[in-house]
Amino acid sequence: MKTQFIHLCFAVSVILLGFVVASCKKEKSETIAATTTQSDEQLVNNVHWFMDAAKDVKEGKILKSGEKMLVDSAVYYISATLNYKYCYQAYNYKSREYDTVYVTIPILANEGKTLIVDALYGYNQAVQKLRSNHMQIASPQKKLLGCMVSNVGFTSNSDSIHIKIISLTGVGVVPNVDDQPAWPSFWYQQNTWQCNGNASIGAPEILRRNLIALNIPANCRVWFPTGYSIKVYDDPTAYPDPFNGPIDNFCDYKIYYARTSASAPVLTDAVKCIETQPVVTYGSEMGFYTQGINQIIGEFLTSVNKDFKDILVTDFDEPIPNTSDYRIGHRIELHYGDASWDCWETTYPCAL
């Protein structure tokens, strides 16, 4: 798992000493600057320091201090701490909700820095606002999936910056199908059913579960300090399978796709049900699409040197322009970024 981070490495002992006595007197200003690339363990330790210091600020244990940090480092550690402490990987959600909050952090504009205590106040404000919005989501089954934190510019008098935080929350839980009859088939649409009528779950949820199992390691926790990016695959016909012979509606593309034509004016239930029953030609349909999508995203992640975070499979059913035909299929939304490992901590993430 790649972990390329060129951010600050906290001078932890100096900072801790400064904060221990900060309630008694104001310390001299110490600049905390970016230094070397951090190991995963160092990053986890520094995030824990930021998290614990923010808790102290919230409880009134730390007063104003002269200690400073770069503005970019403040944004980075707000992002890293939110994603480390509160964001779950591979939550088996049924739907998703985005939300946006803003906080303001005073800065020393002529130095490109902020007081550490102001960065900690900003983090606490972000948590409070995210928690307030999170509580308004009606479902009792919800988990924060990721946060994107960015500096969106100065306030009008240029003595502070606005920090924008976009949160993504998974809502609801996909039913467990492990106890269902062997070799079921699943309708191609989200949140639908097995083709025998059982379970409110469709093929997209099964594909997501399969792909997560292939890409999220189980031995250590994986998290994304700086959030994630999104790549969408919305044209299955761009990914034909070269080994399946003539193009028709069965496993001709690595992403599920079918269309009507003069010879097939109606798409039957057999086309719209994705089988898990193994066959001689290509295993099962579900396995074929799982491997096909995994190959597509794997080649992309390798090309950009990024890591898998999450994947969403959605469906479409739409007319084909300038024809009387229509098409159905799957769209893929890949979430990816720079991952880090946590093999030393077992209590996080926690509920927001």
Interval 170-196: pLDDT, tens: 999 988 776 555 678 899 999 898 887
CA distance 145 to 166: 11
* Model pLDDT for residues 103-140, shown as the tens digit of each residue: 999 999 889 999 999 999 999 999 999 999 999 999 99
For residue 334, give the 3-state DSSP assignment: strand
Closest to 340 in 3D by CA, of 302, 303, 309: 309
For residue 128, the 8-state DSSP code is H
Residue with tokens 């998703």: 96
- Residue 53: its pLDDT value, please? 94
Burial 189-219 (b: 16+ CB within 10 A, else e): bbbbbbbeeebebbbbbbbbbbbbeebbeee
Residues 75-109 have pLDDT tens digits of 999 999 999 999 998 899 989 999 999 999 999 98
